[in-house]
A and B are shown apart, each in its own frame.
Chain A
Amino acid sequence: MNVRAFILFVLLPIASWAQGYAGLGGSAEGFDRPVPGYSFEFPRDHGPHPTYRIEWWYLTANLRDADGSDYGIQWTLFRSALKPSEADGWQSPQIWMGHAAVTTPDAHYFAERLSRGGVGQAGVTAHPFEAWIDEWHMRGGDLDTLNLTANGVDFGYDLQLQAQGSLVFHGDAGYSVKSADGQASYYYSQPFYTVEGILHLPDQDVEVTGQGWLDREWSSQPLAEDQSGWDWFSLSFDSGDKLMAFRLRGDRGDYTAATWIEPDGTVTPLPDGSVKLKPLETTSVAQRNVPTRWHLSSPELGVDIDVIAVTPKAWMGTRFEYWEGPITISGSHTGRGYLEMTGY
């Protein structure tokens, strides 16, 4: 899911300046590059890697209230380095950006925060683990037990997360290739959270429970020059299996990759082309046509499913706009998940 780098590059640090900045495929001069065979070390690698250009802590959760209504939340902290170093105070070249959202069956609320490193306004510490920007935080002794909060003008949430399984490494033991040219990132996940807590909505507070998925990823040059956007799925099936799949849309053709995750944490990486992603229906949102119903198939995995957005209008009207929201799954498998689409 390194495609999310796009957000980081395109919108940071000052929104529209960057829109003319087609530097995704630009050089990563001075920054470290991911290499195969990296040995992860924890809790160190839960913390930031300032010598890499981009990094994120990306949490999504599918939730349900006592009446059975579906909700989704997003909590994301991005780090983008203007230089491969860190400095004190305002001189810090590390830029942080937070996105938070709550999706209900009929509404979508979101908020955005920006900060630079060095001033204490945002950052991540590996041990004890805390990722924060302003008053938003994702914090716990380690990554297994987390408290997650965020607030916007008219919404907020306060959730407890408990990991029920181990970390999952994508691609080649955490080295995740993103294009035919070999662009790559370090990418691992904790997809086994159970979640409970409160959503603060404009008219009421709602008690919810559900499941969460955390992605950790960092890199310096993740996209190929011709790639313009992506569609990314995290699916949790009722069977206990999980599937992460993405499609990078490029002028020279799409690039797909996926990871099949069994309930015990056993992973099977799937190469380009093994999962087919096909839009079935689009919704007009924010003057764009965004696919909100998809067909996913993989003969290899025996998966043949339709996914549909809980709320088609889950548009993130942040500085760089994209679609992100909860989905429900039907077909050969049932379950819930999250969908992110950019570049529409």
Chain B
Amino acid sequence: MTRAAVQALLSHWRSHPLQLMTLLTGIALATCLWSAVQAINAEARASYDRASAQLAIGRFDKLRASGNLIPLSRYAALRRAGWQVAAVLEGSLRLDGRSVRLMGVDMIAYPALPAVTEIEQGAAAPDPADILTAPGRLLMSPELAPLFQTAPGFPPIITSTALPPDLVLTDIGVAEQLLNRSGQISRLIILPEQPRGQPPLSDIAPELQRITPSAQLDTAQLTDSFHLNLSAFGLLSFAVGLFIVHGTVGLAFAQRRGTIRTLRALGLPMRHLIWIGLGELLLLAAIGGMFGLGLGYFLAGALLPDVAATLRGLYGAPIDGQMSLRPQWVAAGLAMATGGTLAASGHALWRLSRMPILAGPGLQAWGGDTTSTRITGALGLALLIAGTIAYFAFGGLIAGFALLAGLLTGAALLLPLLLSGALTLFLRRARSPVAQWVLADMRAQLPGLSLALMALLLALAANIGVGTMVSSFRLTFTGWLDQRLTSELYVTAADDTQGERITEWLTPRVSAVLPIRSAELTHETGPLFLYGIVDHESYRQNWPLIAEGPDVWDHVLNRGAVLINEQLARRADLWPGDRVAITAEHTLPIAGVYSDYGNPTGQAIVAMPVLDQIAPNTETRRFGIRTEPERASDLAQVLRNQFELPPSAVVQQAAMKAQSMAIFEKTFVITSALNVLTLGVAGFAILTSLLTLWTQRLPQVAPVWALGLTRTQLARLELLRSVLLAALTACLALPLGLVLAWVLLVVINVQAFGWRLPMHLFPGDWASLFLLTLLAAVLAAALPAWRLLRLPPAALLRVFANER
């Protein structure tokens, strides 16, 4: 009996292959986007872990001289006092427009570097003498190797997957030559095992600062908000995909009522039926889930390089462009698919269990009535309020997302009530009988369509919100780059002496040489970079201040005040008029706050003499050069030749801007990709809902046809109905999208990145999105309309003949 029942129930799918495809696609889409985001996040986190393990960045304390490099003699003095430290010299190399971090470690004093150990244990272990003596070897990830293989003048390469993708590791002896910084040390790692009887550090090297790992910016922590953003997007897509599942499963059970009634009449217990239904769903979830995982893996692989570029650009986070398949990920994806399918089908199963044994095939559209629309609406309102309260009560990134979630789900639940209200309003105005019928019919259809329309609302709102945020950001960022990068050339000298020579040589040839000097300090909120500036109109006219006290430049340049960046201002809640403790001994008044996009750390600007006071001996190696723009290119070449500078040491403003914009664009590639996908899923959800309703529409259409409307007219009305509902939804999505954008800009961005952006409006984008929505609605209704058009009149006539 059970076997026969299973066959009977499953035969439904054989006669409805499209429905089966739809259901599987729904499950697959939901799983795909969610899993893709999870895969990207997992990959990124694995990269961070690897990087911090490889370089012991997160684990060990380090010693640093604020503002300058550590001389070799200091290292020897520490060692001879018993301090077990390993010297590290860091710098960046530019190759093909890409900036790569070069890390030179004293591989003799610190031979236990995990990356080195891994290479040692590899099949082709190199001769240590090759690594330690000229020309040395460069250790890098396979991803980076092609870049160096084609470039002349570098030592031979050893690749290892143990290395982070943006880092070249080498012996310090090789690094000092490649970076042209002989005998200099960026920082000292304090090794884990220290001998007994050490003198205190302050006796040997009082000028060095000991930095504990907690005071160092942790990549994982920094990027958490970014990953949370991605997860939220994945979850949204997951929810939208489940709308499809809900629609199709409901339809499938509705269509099988006849079969179910027969089976029960033959004696099959309800309990068995439920188990069969459950088994069927689990099987479908497994198939759809696998399919979705495959898609998700592919999607993640396609998006990962851009995400990697983003994370590198925004946070300097090391991340691989390579995907690997993790078993936990497969398990989690399948669990999500199964859980989601069951959640989306629970309603249908529950209805099945409650069905009276002899109930006939239902004709009334399934879904709620007016009362339940009101209840849903009230629930929506409650969620809206709850989200808002949560945000104001708790604050922070999670509360920001709670606000978003409350807004989106609340608005979605309110949608049927609002649409029904709008239709009622139209109905009162309608004069012609056909118009009245169309509107009344639409209102009657609402419960069946409402889930699909909610999906559409969410997708549209997300599109408007995220689109507004990205475009606002782009506009602000471009303007900010213009303000910030005012010098025509940026030059980096090998050391202070060469810096002096370059300044001397340049001064008579250009309109200004602006030294760029900075010292790395530690503030309670994390690392703090202190910059010194000279008085020049470049700063006075262009510096992008977002908050300022009176006579801001006069205070900074002549009265010992400080400018801080927005990140520091928001993290420490310091604004003009407050005082900031730059070091334990130096507390300065804040004259202004400037925007500083794309930089995770705190920053402050003081006049040059103040910098020298706070961090004496800060190196003077970098300069901004003001000259006529058309001379910049030639001057760059002359400078390189004159001082034998590597190409990367002289950068033109245009190149710098182009690179910054490229990083920016990559940042939002994934956002727009997910945006488009969500909209596609929502369109698909409308199609499935319309198809579901279609089977139940014949009895309602037949009388109108009998009254004299042609099938062509009916088909056109069918399209119109779909377009009208989509248009109404789009109109409601606009304010929701704008509120979403506001939350993203003012709440989420501030929490995630530390900066607040002004909101700009882009009506052109809305118009095109509106048209796209109408097009999607037409496409979704096209199939039902076409079916209506081709319906034999006999089928319509039969409605009157058949018993209801």
Contact = CB atoms under 8 A, between A and B. Distances in A.
Interface of A: 12-18, 20-21, 82-83, 88-91, 93, 95, 111, 114-116, 119-121, 132, 134-135, 151-156, 200, 319
Contact of B183 (A17, A82, A89, A153): A89
B117 interface: yes
B176 A89 contact: yes
A93 B132 CA distance: 7
Interface in B104-150: 106-109, 111, 116-117, 120-121, 125-129, 131-134
A121 B133 contact: no
A325 B156 CA distance: 43
A151 B125 contact: no
B72 interface: yes
B271 interface: no
A91 B80 contact: no
Interface stretch (B6-14, B190-198, B364-372): B190-198
B128 A18 contact: yes
A95 B132 contact: yes
Contact of A89 (B72, B117, B194): B72
B52 interface: no
A135 B171 contact: no
Given A90-B176, A95-B132, A115-B109, A14 B120 contact: yes
Contacts of B125: 16-17, 20
Contact of A152 (B117, B171, B195): B195
B73 interface: yes
Nearest to A122: B79
A135 B183 contact: no
Contacts of B195: 111, 135, 151-153, 156
Contact of B196 (A15, A88, A151): A151
Given A15-B111, A82-B133, A119-B72, A134 B79 contact: yes
B173 A82 contact: no
A176 to B, nearest CB: 26
Contacts of B134: 91
B81 interface: yes
B82 interface: yes
B180 interface: no
Given A14-B116, A135-B81, A116 B196 contact: no
Contact of B182 (A20, A89, A95, A319): A89
B21 interface: no
B109 A120 contact: no
Given A89-B72, A153-B193, A17 B132 contact: no
B172 interface: yes
Contacts of A115: 79, 108-109
A338 B489 CA distance: 68
A59 to B, nearest CB: 19
Contacts of B193: 153
B205 interface: no
B75 interface: yes
B76 interface: yes
A154 B121 CA distance: 30
A339 B369 CA distance: 96
A121 B176 contact: no
B76 A13 contact: no
B76 A120 contact: yes
Most buried by A among B79, B117, B129: B129
B196 A91 contact: no
11 contacts: A13-B111, A15-B111, A15-B120, A83-B133, A89-B182, A89-B183, A93-B129, A135-B80, A151-B196, A151-B197, A153-B193
Given A90-B176, A121-B76, A14 B111 contact: yes
B129 A82 contact: yes
Nearest to B77: A120
A151 B82 CA distance: 8
A83 B136 CA distance: 13
Contacts of A83: 129, 133
Contacts of B173: 89-91
The 6 closest A-B pairs by CB, nearest first: A120-B76, A90-B173, A135-B82, A151-B195, A82-B129, A121-B79
B197 A200 contact: yes
Given A13-B111, A13-B128, A151-B195, 11 more contacts: A12-B128, A15-B120, A17-B126, A82-B128, A83-B129, A95-B132, A111-B195, A121-B109, A135-B79, A135-B80, A156-B195
B75 A119 contact: yes
A90 B125 CA distance: 23
A95 B133 CA distance: 11
A115 B172 CA distance: 13
A91 to B, nearest CB: 5
Nearest to B183: A89
A119 B134 CA distance: 17
A340 to B, nearest CB: 23
Most buried by A among B73, B79, B81, B133: B79
Given A83-B133, A200-B197, A14 B107 contact: yes
A111 to B, nearest CB: 7
Interface string B178-192: 000011000000000
B131 A153 contact: no
A145 to B, nearest CB: 21
B196 A14 contact: no
Nearest to B129: A82
A132 B109 contact: no
Interface string B69-87: 0001101100111101000
A147 to B, nearest CB: 15
Nearest to A150: B195
A154 B193 CA distance: 10
Contacts of B106: 90, 116
